[in-house]
Structures are given as C-alpha cells and as structure tokens.
Homo-oligomer: A and B are copies of this chain.
C-alpha cells in the first residue's frame, strides 16, 4: 500500500489557514496535520515527527508548509525547520505566509509579460510592507529593477528594505513614505506600479494616474471596492487602459492558484525542496512559459 502524502501545516496565526488547506488537498495532499499558533520553538518536534517515522526512501511522501498572516514570522519557522534537519534526513518545506510568495510571483510574472524586468526598470510597490508587498519587492529586486518601497510609515519601509538587501545581494530598493511624498514624485519615471495594500483602500486615483506619463503596466491586488488603483477592475487581465496594461486581483489570482498548486506538488517529488521567494518565482516563470 502506498504511503499517504502527509502535509504538515504550520501556521503562525492561532487558527491555521483554511485557504492553504483547501489548495493543498486539491493539489494532491492526502492527509493534513494542521497546527495553529506555531512558534519557532515548536518546529523541531513537529518536523522530526515527519523525519523519523518512515524510511529514508519514503521521506518525500511527507512535507510541510508554513502559513499565517505575517511572512516575517513565517521566515522564522522556515529557519527553525532547516535547523531541525539532519543532513539528508529532511523533508521539503514551502513558505507561503498569507500567500505572499505565490501571489507575488504571479503578480511579477504578469508584469514581466509586458515589460522586460531589469536594471532599466523603475517600479513602485504600494503597500510594500505587507507580506505580499515584501515578496513583490524582493522578486523585482532580484530581477535587478530599481524598486520604490512605499508605505505610510517610512520606518516600516526602511525595515523592509533592510531585509530585502540582506536576502538579495545588490538589491536596489528605496524606502518611500506615502504620507510625506507626493504621488507624482512616487510615480515619476516609473514603468510599473503594483498595489498590494489592504483590502478596500484606494492608493492611486485618476489624477495620480493622469500625470504618470512613463507608466506602462499597473497591477492592483486588492479585490474589494474601492479599487486600490482607480479604474482597474478585479477581473482585468492584460487590459489596455489609456495606454497602460492593467491587471486586477482576480486575474493575478488565477495564475497564483496555478503556481500554488504546482508548488504543493513539487513538495512531494523529493524530500529536499525549500520553496521560498526565489524558488516560487522561478516556478511561476516556468509555468508562464509553458502556457
């Protein structure tokens, strides 16, 4: 009898994510072991439960995902999981707190279809201190883009820049306060804007957009009215509006779901995958190319 595909769900929130669980089941996980309120101190024992129960050649039938609303807390669990491994005795792990990696990968891949991402690219990320926003910044920075990291509070934006610089050598990221800075300045010379703010909060309005002469691609990841970027509907998928290619949250969400499920399937292919920002972004590019 084949061993069940067991997925350990470690969530930093008190109630583990239902979203993540449904996607995992639909992607082929057979049994979920769901844990909420997980702290780094809990991780070793949980992960060892996967590592020491089956033979070494069966380790790929178990894996772990890390979820929750806070990707920084999730990163600490991932670190603890890696430290729990004994050489080749390990299991695959995906970090995707709040869908941060899969959603960010989908957004950046959508943008890259219309705009070559590289050192010439100037990008503005609004709401950049959220879990998704941080990962969008990181993926853009890895492509070499010049990224404006915008948040209401400058100190929060600075903290994100600090973390991204540590994770991505040579990252070009600049903290910006949306409270102290004119929207015109934020958008000046920018080619790409990705809004990843809270649900139902407008971050750019029609007047802001009118003056954004260099803007070629705009993505709004907010699905709840009012729009994060005025004029973009959740279902917009590569729609040309006044010369700019626009994507809404549901269009990005379709690709996000494909990436998410493919990532879950990868976890069970071998026992040594660590799926974080880079790996999930690469997976997103592969899936987009395959289409």
CB A19 to nearest CB in B, in angstroms, measures 4
Evaluate contact between A4 and B19: CB separation under 8 angstroms: no
CB of A200 within 8 Å of the partner chain: no
| Chain B proximity mask over A15-35: 1 for CB below 8 Å, otherwise 0 | 111111111011000011111
Q: How many A residues touch the partner, as a band?
A: 35 or more
CB of A287 within 8 Å of the partner chain: no
CB A104 to nearest CB in B, in angstroms, measures 17
Evaluate contact between A26 and B53: CB separation under 8 angstroms: yes
Q: Which residues of A contact B (CB under 8 A)?
A: 3-4, 6, 8, 14-23, 25-26, 31-35, 37-38, 42, 45-50, 52-54, 62, 253, 257
Known: A17-B45, A25-B31; 10 extra A-B contacts, CB below 8 A, are A6-B25, A16-B35, A17-B49, A19-B49, A19-B53, A22-B49, A22-B54, A26-B54, A31-B32, A32-B33
* 21 cross-chain CB contacts under 8 A: A3-B26, A4-B25, A4-B26, A8-B18, A14-B42, A15-B42, A15-B46, A16-B35, A18-B33, A18-B48, A19-B49, A19-B52, A19-B53, A21-B33, A21-B49, A22-B33, A22-B49, A22-B50, A26-B54, A32-B33, A53-B257
